[in-house]
Structure 1
Amino acid sequence: MMKITPHTRLSAYIDSVKEVLKGMKILKNKDIVQRLVNLVKAYVTDSEYYMRRGDYYTGIACISYAEGILDAMRELKLIEFKWPKRKRLPKVLVAGTFEILHPGHLYLLKKAWELGEVHVVVARDVNVAKFKGRKPVVPEAQRLEVIKNVKWVDQAYLGDEEDIFKILERVRPDIVLLGPDQPIDEETLRREIKQRGLSAKIIRLRELYKEYPLTKTHDILNKIRDLLEKDLNSN
């Protein structure tokens, strides 16, 4: 599976905005539109600057502002244009509880972003209790809100309470990315994908993220418990 580099992604976004600027039609309020177009061009220039520096995430933020201004002007019927067709990025599905977001989660999400458009399904509270034997510390709505705001995530959803594989039908992924120790049986997953008429490729990361000691929710919770017990005993 080809890795989609941040440079490739950003370059495609910049090219799309430039193409719109060349072909768009001004419908009214020419002076206002021209000022806004100048702002769009400034964001394009900024984005190209950050791309040259290798700061792709800031570059993507800049070009996103440019796209937003163009979309707003079109919505207000100030200009007329169509976005050029871009090659569709593969949809990458990642699933998890994401109870306490940690570097291991971020590593997984970044790897997913390198493969395509990232869709994340967050486990429901009832399913966490079923599979982990305990209720989650952080409720599902809060866990979803956190994941939605991770820069490598394009879309995030709550899973289905009855069928944990139902998200496959909604997202229709090209890739399902699994963490190295994620307790999902690949044969079962492959069967569920096939039964839904899909052909997603399953990729499992080979190595755990080990740069920091606390990269598992279980370890973080144990650390918190130990510190609380120590604090209580000292009093």
Structure 2
Amino acid sequence: MKRILTYGTFDLLHWGHIRLLKRAKAMGDYLIVAASTDEFVQHKGARASYHSFEVRKAMLEAVRYVDLVIPEASWEQKAEDVRRYRADVVVMGSDWEGSPRFESLRSVCDVEYLPRTEGVSTSQIRKDLLTEAVTFRAA
């Protein structure tokens, strides 16, 4: 059985996330998704997630391509996750290509980067919704 592992926040779950999960699952038999905990999102300095970890976990578990969702609580846990869950490949979006955070895993598994879905991102969705809210309020 070939096990695939991917990481992300998966806030405001959108088509780009679904495409990544579908393509990652097609690379193996079992897809493990490590979703960033709320505390880790704050630690990374990212904007707080709209949905809590528990809600994001439940949404990911509802996606047919996902076999297991685990918490991502730190940058340092990745090599241990690979060992614990016997992952053969870590798959990430191409925006992470060359990052030491994932390149360092090559000593314990394969690492693959998949092209991002053009025209969609959580950051852009947030901006669009804010612009729409401001425009609506001004009208």
TM-score class, shorter-chain normalisation, is 0.7 to 0.9
Number of residue pairs matched by the alignment: 137
Residues 1:208 and 2:113 aligned together: no
Cα 1:184–1:133, aligned 2, differ >3 Å: closer, same or farther? farther
Match of 2:136 in 1: 231
Match of 2:38 in 1: 125
- Which structure has the larger Rg over C-alpha atoms? 1
Cα 1:183–1:216, aligned 2, differ >3 Å: closer, same or farther? farther
Q: Identify the structure with the greater strand proportion.
A: 2
Match of 1:115 in 2: 27
Q: Identify the structure with the greater helix proportion.
A: 1
Cα 1:98–1:202, aligned 2, differ >3 Å: closer, same or farther? same
Shift of 1:183: 7.3
Q: Higher mean Cα deviation, 169-178 or 215-224?
A: 169-178
Q: How does 1:37-48 map to 2 (within 5 A)?
A: none
Residues 1:222 and 2:130 aligned together: no
Q: 3-state SS of the aligned residue for 1:105?
A: helix
Match of 1:95 in 2: 7
Q: Higher mean Cα deviation, 166-175 or 122-131?
A: 166-175
Residues 199-229 of structure 1, C-alpha deviations (whole Å, 9 max, x = no match): 3100011x3223xx4x200000001111111
Scaled by the length of structure 1, what TM-score is found? 0.53
CA distance in 1, matches of 2:57, 2:81: 15
Scaled by the length of structure 2, what TM-score is found? 0.87
Residues 148-173 of structure 1, C-alpha deviations (whole Å, 9 max, x = no match): 11011111111235744242232121
| Structure 2 unaligned blocks of 5 or more | none
